């Protein structure tokens, strides 16, 4: 039986130290019938040249050079150029076990599922490993129906929204909107894909090596990066909240997502007042309107957050004036106490990233 073609998209941005190991692990797959799409997303280092060299070595590889538009649009480019019935993704600083695609495609095809998903291990720079699923391969897998699989993705606990440990039927991407410029919550389209799938199959064995490097996009530091994280995550969580609100079959997780979305919106508004230079013009009004649109019924909200929501509903200018006064008090406090109390919030302080 001929192996169906599988398209593998690898978004590449300034990963010259890591991309060789990643591509080597894909080329070495026991599942040979691959179309490997290396998307050079405007890299300023030697990443593009490394990708071109690989294209010369393996006829299954195609390199697409494009301007930098973020990880989400790099994946979109891969899907648009894919010619296979099945598509998957690998991040350029990660690597995969040699039998990953053989075992995943076998499970996908034998169960007639639309999505296959496998276990993930976290690998740290010191060589230590954190196992999330099965450390030793057993071949065990489970089949999940459309509602159960989508609910597990929305819970974002046992299953995560990560795109790269999954194989999808390409047709699931028809009509899917990728978030342009989104680099930190780019996986949050996954609920749409699971919602469209008839069923999915979950392989408990760990095949994907998720490298926890300190210089990755998600680990990058600096106020500009931190505020971009807030923008991306608040946008993604609001879209996910709207998705759940629209579909009653997933309302079991609605209150949780309401609470998280409200917390993110309030904190991004706090940051917009404290550090307006890092936010687009008109952003405050957009986020204030989103916050006002969320009903507060059926959820527990701390009194402080209720106070901020009330101020915004009365008049966003009242909220802004209060926060500006609050930030001034913090500055005065820092001067007299020689402390360094912040007037802004890090994403990790809200969602424990």
Q: Where are the domains of the chain?
A: 6-212, 223-348
SS3 state of residue 334: helix
> Mean pLDDT across the chain, nearest whole number?
92
Least confident stretch, 61-70, 174-183, 244-253: 174-183
Q: Which helix (H) or strand (E) holds 81?
A: helix 71-81
pTM score, two decimals? Answer: 0.88
Q: How large is the average pLDDT for residues 189-217?
A: 90
Structure tokens at 86: 């099945």
3-class DSSP state for residue 69? coil
Second-level CATH architecture of 6-212: Alpha-Beta Complex (3.90)
Q: List the structure tokens of 41.
A: 């997303």
180, pLDDT greater than 80:
no
pLDDT in tens, 75-95: 999 999 999 999 999 999 999
Q: Is the pLDDT of residue 57 over 50?
A: yes
Q: What is the per-residue pLDDT for 130? A: 93
- Between helix 303-314 and helix 254-274 the angle, nearest 10°, is 70
Average pLDDT score over residue span 155-177: 93
Q: Render pLDDT for 212-228 as a digit per residue (tens, 0 to 9).
A: 877 655 555 689 999 99
CB 182 within 8 Å of CB 69: no
Mean pLDDT value across residues 99-103: 97
104 pLDDT band, cuts 50/70/90, is very high
Burial category of 64 from C-beta neighbours within 10 Å (exposed 0-12, middle 13-18, buried 19 and up): middle
What pLDDT sits at residue 353? 44
For residues 23 and 96, give the distance between their C-alpha atoms in angstroms, rounded to a whole number: 9
């Amino acid at each position: 039986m001929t192996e169906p073609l599988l398209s593998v998209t690898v978004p590449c941005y300034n990963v010259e130290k890591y991309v060789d190991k990643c591509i080597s692990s894909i080329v070495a797959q026991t599942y040979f019938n691959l179309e490997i799409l290396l998307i050079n997303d405007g890299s300023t280092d030697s990443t593009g040249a490394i990708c071109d060299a690989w294209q010369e070595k393996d006829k299954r590889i195609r390199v697409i050079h494009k301007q930098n538009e973020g990880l989400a649009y790099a994946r979109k480019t891969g899907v648009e150029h894919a010619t296979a019935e099945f598509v998957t993704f690998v991040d350029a600083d990660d690597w995969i076990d040699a039998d990953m695609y053989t075992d995943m495609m076998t499970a996908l095809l034998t169960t007639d599922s639309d999505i296959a998903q496998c276990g993930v291990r976290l690998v740290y720079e010191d060589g230590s490993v954190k196992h999330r699923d099965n450390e030793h391969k057993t071949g065990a897998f489970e089949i999940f129906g459309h509602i159960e699989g989508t609910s597990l993705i929305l819970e974002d606990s046992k299953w995560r929204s990560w795109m790269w440990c999954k194989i999808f039927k390409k047709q699931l991407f028809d009509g899917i909107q990728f978030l342009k410029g989104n680099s930190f919550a780019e996986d949050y389209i996954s609920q749409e894909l699971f919602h469209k799938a008839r069923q999915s199959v979950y392989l408990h064995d760990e095949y994907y090596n998720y490298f926890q490097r300190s210089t990755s996009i998600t680990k990058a530091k600096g106020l500009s990066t931190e505020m971009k994280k807030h923008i991306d995550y608040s946008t993604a969580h609001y879209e996910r909240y709207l998705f759940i609100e629209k579909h009653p079959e997933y309302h079991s997780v609605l209150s949780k997502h309401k609470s998280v979305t409200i917390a993110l919106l309030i904190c991004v508004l706090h940051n917009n007042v404290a550090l307006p230079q890092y936010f687009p013009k008109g952003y405050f009004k957009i986020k204030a309107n989103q916050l006002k649109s969320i009903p507060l019924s059926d959820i527990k909200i701390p009194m402080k957050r209720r106070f901020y929501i009330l101020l915004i509903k009365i008049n966003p200018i009242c909220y802004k004036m209060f926060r500006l006064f609050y930030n001034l008090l913090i500055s005065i406090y820092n001067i007299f106490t020689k402390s360094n109390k912040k007037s802004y919030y890090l994403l990790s302080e809200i969602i424990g990233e």
